[in-house]
Amino acid sequence: MYLSNECQNICTYCGFSFTNKIPRKTLTDAEILAEIEIVKSYGYDNILLVTGEHDKLVGIDYLLHAVELVKQHFSQVSIEVQPMEQHEYELLKKAGVYAVLVYQETYHKDVYKSYHPKGKKSNFEYRLDTPDRLGKAGVYKIGLGVLLGLEDWRTDSYFNALHLDYLQKTYWQTKYSVSFPRIRPHEGDFAPKSVLSEKELLQLICAYRICFPDVELSLSSRERAQFRDIVLPYGITSMSAGSKTEPGGYSDSEALKQFEIHDDRTPAEIAAMIRSKQYEPVWKDWDAVLI
């Protein structure tokens, strides 16, 4: 659930980037409650709250208040917001946050700077150290990932795996998840440097599953339906469904989406697909089916 598309950063690949002239919106209490009602009606009990990165408009006070509102309706509340200080994560944990997702985007330091020229996010080290601050704050689950396509995907994924391995050994009481976002079309003309095919993404997911048997692997509705069905039995343990990538998107909004959704099946349809076992492996058909 997107709470805000306000952002002070310039990220050259993102529709919410500071210099993009788009309608900006941050949800009020009433709007958050309206969104909750709709998301709950889909049968969800876990929720991920997402914001752009804006110190003043969606800083710690706004988030603490939003978590307070949301946690009464969901068993697990996770957040994907701007990197914060350890004491802020401690407050969020106390308020009821279960997991924090923070993606490094790319581990290539020089290239990172070119994709993030302005704003707090341009500080590579501060972002890289964020999972450490989360581990020290005792947050229950940390979500990692790279934006596949910014740099050579094998190199970035390898460094992401090294980072995960280090975190598992250092903060061994914490759970971890890894996501596999591939760059999707958005406003503007951003072209991925390294194009990752579906076959390669499947290979990557299998590699993570072999290397990290207990880690949650997550695949979003950025990917098309048929691909998600095929990949599911190879290690994916968490999937979004019915996602809206704009603030207020569940009730009504004309705000700009952060990225396009490719699997637009409803949560009920995804649940039915999983229950029906239609996702069983189709080994012989891979060449014909995967793009």
Task: Summarize as ranges the residues that interact with ligand SF4 (CB under 6 A).
Answer: 7, 9, 11, 14, 16-17, 52-53, 121
Phi-psi sector, 137: left (phi>0), alpha (psi -120 to 50), beta: alpha
**CA nearest neighbour of 158 among 173, 143, 144, 138:** 144
Cβ-contact 201, 148 below 8 angstroms: yes
Shortest distance in whole angstroms from residue 259 CB to ligand SF4: 9
Instruction: Tell me whether residue 121 or residue 182 sits nearer to ligand SF4 (CB atom).
Output: 121
**CA nearest neighbour of 38 among 272, 248, 270:** 248
Instruction: Tell me whether residue 9 or residue 26 sits nearer to ligand SF4 (CB atom).
Output: 9
Instruction: Tell me whether residue 52 or residue 248 sits nearer to ligand SF4 (CB atom).
Output: 52
Instruction: Tell me whether residue 240 or residue 258 sits nearer to ligand SF4 (CB atom).
Output: 258
Cβ-contact 262, 201 below 8 angstroms: no
Beta strands in the chain (DSSP E): 2-4, 46-51, 76-80, 97-101, 141-145, 175-179, 216-219, 238-239
Shortest distance in whole angstroms from residue 79 CB to ligand SF4: 13
β-pairing, 97-101 vs 46-51, is unpaired
Instruction: Tell me whether residue 6 or residue 31 sits nearer to ligand SF4 (CB atom).
Output: 6
Shortest distance in whole angstroms from residue 221 CB to ligand SF4: 18
> Measured between alpha carbons, how far is 219 from 257 in angstroms, rounded to an integer?
18
Shortest distance in whole angstroms from residue 122 CB to ligand SF4: 10
Shortest distance in whole angstroms from residue 11 CB to ligand SF4: 3
Sheet strands side by side (includes 175-179): 2-4, 46-51, 76-80, 97-101, 141-145, 175-179, 216-219, 238-239
Instruction: Tell me whether residue 3 or residue 236 sits nearer to ligand SF4 (CB atom).
Output: 3
Shortest distance in whole angstroms from residue 63 CB to ligand SF4: 15
